[in-house]
Amino acid sequence: MAETKKRIRVLIAKAGLDGHDRGAKVLVLGLRDRGMEVIYTGIRRTPEDIVEAAIQEGVDVVGLSCLSGAHNHLFPRVAELLAKRGGGNVLVVGGGIIPKEDIPFLEQKGISYIFGPGSQINEIAQFIRSNVK
Amino acid sequence: MALVPKLMKSLSLLDQMSSEKTVKHSWHLKQLVEGMLSGEVGSLSQLINLVENNECNVAELLKMIESYLGKAYCVGLTGPPGVGKSTLIDKLIVVARKRGLNVGVLAVDPSSVISGGAVLGDRIRMQSSSLNGGVFIRSMATRGYYGGVSESLDIVVRLLDAFGKDIIFIETVGVGQTEVYIKRIADTTLVMLTPEAGDSIQFLKAGLIEIADMIVVNKADRIGADCLVSEIVEALSLQEQKSQWQVPVVTTQAVNNLGINELYEEIVKHQEFLKSSQLRKERKF
């Protein structure tokens, strides 16, 4: 018997010139094991690619990962394009190597939370569950 | 047919709703359908979400889009995990786009029987075409449905059809021998194999091979490809002729973009065959 429950859909995306996706893959598996449907974009996607995928896949959450230092450019661009495409309800969160002083700027640009190194998967899953609209 | 349980479910859902809720629901559904029919990708996605989550009355939805159905041609790709289904679709999309077709892709991956979650990873391999306007790719989890597809698949096919897609590629989960529901949904079913997939006895067995309108031997640069092709051809030649259609065996190297045009030609041939023999299933309500 097929189940009828709504599932939280998450897009995990690697933005920009950055091939370090071990963390992203750990998260993909962790969220799968917590009952979410997780779509992974693969590495080196542009904000345009990511937003197109998010809209087509009808996701509730976009999780952005960036370890290259370009987060201040890439993350806000994703949030901006998403809003433009009617995805303003989509929860956008980020992770990677993000200096603390950049976090207020990113939050102001529509990134709901930044999960730095050492973040626990349970903590991330809980945040998603509580904040998906 | 998968449509039946989904329809039944939605009818009973309707009974449970208060009239106020039903009116609100219908209004929201109508908005989304109008958006979808005007070409909004976001509305199409939201409709797919509603269907997948059983949050909409499918009978009502199908009635709204009924007059837009019947245009899209549906090509199903099935075969074991890792055989190259996503990669091959990626290349087929490029050919279809060159021919001016509006393309839809539905890629099914399994839901975990433990957590209910899923990793939907087919999209990664469909990048050479993904941002090319006119391509809509949607990943779907099986959500506990067996047969290699998801319960909502045939309804979602109809949505893509109404949205204006000319051709829809459907990728099943990686299958074994008995996940054959794709046959009920697709107009043309491609069964994919790789070298060392078995001998002629393997291909006499009931199941996957039986449903093939064509057989694709991918990774054809590998040792044993020629041998596999002749084993399949031999097995097929032993069958009683049930149809005028002769199942072709096509070799491809999806990663190297080889054999793709030839395969596409076979799909077109099958499409023409169905048309001329009036065998194509009607996809209506």
Go through the domains of chain B in sequence order and give each one's CATH number. Answer: 3-67 (no CATH), 73-276 (3.40.50.300)
Measured between CA atoms, how close is A23 to chain B, in angstroms? 15
Best of B119, B152, B165 to substitute, by most chain A Cβ atoms within 10 angstroms, is B119
Q: Is A109 a residue whose pLDDT tops 50?
A: yes
Tokens representing residue A5 in the block: 């429950």
A34 contacts in chain B (CB < 8 Å): 115, 117
Structure confidence at residue B211 (pLDDT): 86
Q: Confirm whether A46 is domain-assigned.
A: yes
Structure confidence at residue A1 (pLDDT): 43
Reported ipTM: 0.91
Cβ contact, residue pair A87, B144, below 8 Å: no
B204-210's contacts with Cβ under 8 Å and 24+ in sequence apart are B204/B235, B204/B238, B205/B177, B207/B177, B207/B178, B207/B180, B208/B78, B208/B79, B208/B175, B208/B176, B208/B177, B208/B178, B208/B179, B208/B180, B209/B235, B210/B180
B45 contacts in chain A (CB < 8 Å): 55-58
Structure confidence at residue B8 (pLDDT): 57
Nearest to B129 by CA among A56, A83, A17: A56
Contact of A108 with chain B, judged by CB distance below 8 Å, is answered with no
pLDDT in tens, A46-79: 999 999 999 999 999 999 999 999 999 999 999 9
Choose among A37, A86, A87: nearest Cβ to B141.
A37
Measured between CA atoms, how close is B125 to chain A, in angstroms? 9
Q: Which residues of chain B have pLDDT under 70?
A: 1-23, 129-132, 177-178, 198-201, 204-206, 281-285
Nearest to A45 by CA among A96, A91, A10, A11: A11
Range in A10-24, A112-126, B26-40, B193-207 with the lowest mean pLDDT: B193-207
Best of A6, A7, A89 to substitute, by most chain B Cβ atoms within 10 angstroms, is A7
Contact of B90 with chain A, judged by CB distance below 8 Å, is answered with no
Contact of A37 with chain B, judged by CB distance below 8 Å, is answered with yes
Choose among A36, A53, A87: nearest Cβ to B117.
A36
Q: Confirm whether A3 is domain-assigned.
A: no
Nearest to B107 by CA among B120, B93, B88, B118: B120
Choose among A36, A41, A55: nearest Cβ to B41.
A55
pLDDT in tens, B57-82: 899 999 999 999 999 999 999 999 99
Range of the domain at A40: 9-116
Query: Across the strands, what pairs with B249?
Result: B215
CATH of the domain at A80: 3.40.50.280
Q: Confirm whether A122 is domain-assigned.
A: no
Half-sphere exposure of A64 (CA within 13 A, CB side): 36
What predicted TM-score, i.e. pTM, was given to this entire model? 0.90
Structure confidence at residue A73 (pLDDT): 96
Q: Confirm whether A2 is domain-assigned.
A: no
Host H or E run for residue B14: helix B3-16
Structure confidence at residue A60 (pLDDT): 97
Arithmetic mean of pLDDT, A3-26 = 89
Q: Confirm whether A56 is domain-assigned.
A: yes
B206 phi and psi angles, rounded to 5 deg: -70, 155
Q: Confirm whether A84 is domain-assigned.
A: yes
Cβ contact, residue pair A41, B54, below 8 Å: no
CA dihedral A68, A71, A77, A78 (to 10 degrees): 80
CA angle A117, A123, A125 (to 5 degrees): 110
A48 contacts in chain B (CB < 8 Å): 131
Q: Confirm whether A123 is domain-assigned.
A: no
Per the structure, the count of domains in chain A is: 1
Position B271: which residue type? Q
Q: Confirm whether A40 is domain-assigned.
A: yes
- Measured between CA atoms, the residue of chain A closest to residue B53 is A6
A19 contacts in chain B (CB < 8 Å): none
- Measured between CA atoms, the residue of chain B closest to residue A36 is B117
Cβ contact, residue pair B131, A48, below 8 Å: yes
